[in-house]
Amino acid sequence: MKTKDFFYDLPKELIAQDPIEKRDHARLLVLDKGSGEVLHKYFYDIVDELMPGDCLILNDSRVLPARIFGVREGSDTTVEFLLLTQKAPNIWEALARPGKKAKVGAKFSFGGDAMFGEVLDVLPDGNRIVKFDCEENFYSALEKIGKMPLPHYITHELIDCERYQTVYSRELGSVAAPTAGLHFTDDLLKKIKAKGVKIGFVTLHVGLGTFRPVKVADVLDHKMHAEHYEVPPHTATLIADTKKAGGRVVAVGTTSCRTLEAMFKEFGNVTPCEGWTDIFIYPGFKFKVIDALITNFHLPESTLIMLVSAFAGRDAVLSAYQTAVAEKYRFFSFGDAMFIR
């Protein structure tokens, strides 16, 4: 299976640079994975696509303002750090740019003197292990000095940082938003509940894999980076009860999908759990938990379009993407959505 098999042409002007004014007014392409039928709707129409007895599983991870800029001690050199994974209290794995200015032992000040950091180690892949020190709570300091880590393809400045958070985000830890959830509003969630659809939450902190493209020719040679996930007891019970009653488990986003399928792969059933997963889902994968998927439009040759292709079939997905391009849908993080049923 070749990475190039998941390529498609995308005009640059279709990459959404800004959030749509009203979250739930994004367009929604509905793909029936059985028949291949494609329908064109708006995201607020998702209420009509969900059925009483279904359960909707959302990722409640919240994006950290994980881009911080440090001035190296004894110089005026500025280095950008992107926090990736917390290793211990106030110790993080991070990307550093330019890396040559962040050698072991280098010390930095952030936000004036709001925070200090020291590079403890350089990992084989070039990531840094950095220890931070500040008088106040680390996350409080980060809220003051950090910036949102928007994907590289978004060049516009984000005016309202809450637009890169879902309305239900609460567990700090991601370096990118679970973007399929950006389309939901509180009012839309109320309408979904009123229809008899149950809502459950999982947590998967989106990590380094989001920023790293597939660089190998053969899909099977790609290695995913591990991300921390949690399935709480209430959600596990909700999923099990939904399955028993014949309802559908609808995952919101590839992160929710990966969390649920990682749970089943690890434990062989639906159960409360937490841990780290590097699950890589590509065509041939046998889904055990999810029955439908809400997702955005993903980058060509990415692990995310591979996951969607595993769920709906590569040919059907690429055909739907071609239709979306022809219909001038908006792509990627701030773009439009798909519902695959």
Query: What pLDDT is stored for residue 208 in this prediction?
Result: 73
d(CA 252, CA 256) in angstroms, rounded, equals 6
Q: Quick one: 182 exposed, middle or buried, by C-beta within 10 A (0-12, 13-18, 19+)?
A: buried
Predicted pLDDT of residue 210: 65
The pLDDT score that the predictor gives to residue 171 is 95
- If you search the block for the tokens 């994968």, which residue do you land on? 285
Most distant CA pair in the chain: distance in Å?
65
pLDDT for the residue 211: 62
pLDDT of residue 121: 97
Question: Between the CA of residue 204 and those of 125, 201, 211, 230, 254, what are the distances in Å?
Answer: 23, 10, 16, 7, 10
The DSSP output letter for 270 is -
Q: How far is CA 247 from the centre of its chain?
A: 25
pLDDT, tens digit (0-9, with 9 covering 90-100), for 296-334: 999 999 999 999 999 999 999 999 999 999 999 999 999
pTM over the 0.85 mark:
yes
On whether the CB atoms of residues 57 and 202 are closer than 8 A, the answer is yes
Going from the first residue of the chain to its last (341 residues), give the mean pLDDT of each consecutive group of 10, the final group possibly shorter: 97 97 98 96 98 98 96 95 92 95 96 94 95 93 92 92 96 94 98 98 87 88 93 98 98 98 97 96 98 98 97 97 98 98 97
